Amino acid sequence: MERAEKRELVSTLNEVFQETNVVVVAHYAGLTVAELTALRGKARTVGVSVKVAKNRLVKLALQGTESAHIADLFTGPTLVAYSDDPVAAPKVVADFAKTNDKLVILGGAMGTTNLDPNGVKALATLPSLDELRGKLIGLIQAPATKVATVISAPASQLARVFGAYAKKDEAA
């Protein structure tokens, strides 16, 4: 990799660390190319990016960002997963780590908050933003549905009463 490419990578990663909500760091020693490709594919479907870069370059990119405190995690073969959704990246990495022992979660950052491996796994158990939005919309719509049911019930009961009287008069 030439110097210009390295500078570009460092500036790109610096922008990523400044803009993303959550960063997860993991060791990937022993993963095959196919397994790493599978991880990237799963991550891409939910809006998570997975990068493998030289630790020295990542440490340079971390300087001046809120996530600078995680620079100590970058030793050995590490990968970085990040996303705008604070739950998506931890969820993808934690789910993949459950099925593959070679991926070891080292920790991460959520803004200025330092996350240990248990913190990353705790974030992974939370519902995603899309799930929370769905629940919120369901809660908002539920009262409207109940109100419509309650309002329509007396009208239908009146219609049944009038229908019964009409049938009674016809029979007589």
* Residue 40 shares a structural domain with residue 104: yes
Which of the four pLDDT bands, split at 50, 70 and 90, describes residue 136? confident
At residue 136, what is the residue type?
L
Mean pLDDT over all residues of the chain?
Answer: 85
* Residue 82 shares a structural domain with residue 26: yes
* Residue 13 shares a structural domain with residue 51: yes
DSSP-assigned letter for residue 128? P
* Residue 120 shares a structural domain with residue 134: no
d(CA 44, CA 67): 22
pLDDT for 112: 82
Which of the four pLDDT bands, split at 50, 70 and 90, describes residue 147? low
Two structure tokens written together for 16: 């990523």
CATH of the domain at 34: 3.30.70.1730
Least confident of 30-34, 46-50, 149-153: 149-153
* Residue 102 shares a structural domain with residue 69: yes
* Residue 120 shares a structural domain with residue 159: no
Query: What's the mean pLDDT in 139-160?
Result: 69
Which of the four pLDDT bands, split at 50, 70 and 90, describes residue 150? low
* Residue 30 shares a structural domain with residue 93: yes
Two structure tokens written together for 4: 């210009």
Q: What total number of domains does the chain contain?
A: 2
pLDDT for 148: 67
Domain hosting 170: range is 127-172
Query: What's the mean pLDDT in 12-36?
Result: 89
* Residue 33 shares a structural domain with residue 84: yes
Which of the four pLDDT bands, split at 50, 70 and 90, describes residue 53? confident
Two structure tokens written together for 148: 């419509």
Q: Is the pLDDT of residue 6 over 90?
A: no
Q: Is the pLDDT of residue 7 over 70?
A: yes
* Residue 38 shares a structural domain with residue 88: yes
pLDDT 10s digits, 84-95: 888 888 999 999
* Residue 150 shares a structural domain with residue 165: yes
pLDDT 10s digits, 70-123: 888 898 899 999 988 888 889 999 999 998 888 999 999 888 888 888 888 888
* Residue 107 shares a structural domain with residue 139: no
* Residue 135 shares a structural domain with residue 169: yes
Query: What's the mean pLDDT in 31-38?
Result: 92
d(CA 71, CA 78): 11
Q: Is the pLDDT of residue 35 over 80?
A: yes
